[in-house]
């Protein structure tokens, strides 16, 4: 008889039932240690000059397109410089006085 060991006081999720009778495959995806991004996923990096210029161009374009956007912050990993997302600061809509584009 196989050794029985109940997984008590642990959450039983879908993976638990999926891999109950077989070993769970190792997750081979390599993640960056600093920001846990997929290393195979090629993203813009603020530490690369060419990438930074693309980021600048993108922000400049967005500021031109959306007049209610005051500024856009490119949020990147402080360690490796991978670009995570953009945070835009929108002007207070109540601050607009009767004019729209």
Show the CA angle centred on residue 18, arms to residues 14 and 21, nearest 5°.
140
61-80 binders of Zn ion (CB under 5 A): 77, 79-80
Q: How far is the C-alpha of 1 from the C-alpha of 8, rounded, in Å? A: 20
Q: How far is the C-alpha of 10 from the C-alpha of 54, rounded, in Å? A: 47
Taking CB under 5 A as the binding criterion, the range among 3-11, 14-22, 32-40, 93-101 that sits at the site for Zn ion is 32-40
- Residue from the set 18, 19, 34, 75 that interacts with Zn ion by CB under 5 A: 34
Q: Which is nearer to Zn ion, 31 or 90 (CB)?
A: 31
Under the binding rule (CB under 5 A), the answer on residue 44 touching Zn ion is: no
């Amino acid at each position: 008889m196989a050794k029985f060991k109940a997984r008590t006081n642990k959450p039983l999720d879908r993976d638990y039932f999926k891999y109950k009778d077989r070993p769970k495959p190792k997750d081979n995806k390599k993640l960056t240690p600093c920001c846990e991004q997929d290393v195979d996923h090629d993203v813009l990096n603020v530490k690369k000059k060419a990438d930074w210029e693309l980021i600048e161009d993108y922000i400049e374009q967005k500021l031109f397109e959306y007049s209610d956007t005051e500024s856009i912050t490119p949020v990147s990993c402080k360690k490796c410089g991978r670009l995570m997302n953009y945070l835009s600061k929108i002007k207070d809509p109540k601050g607009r006085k009767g004019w729209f584009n």
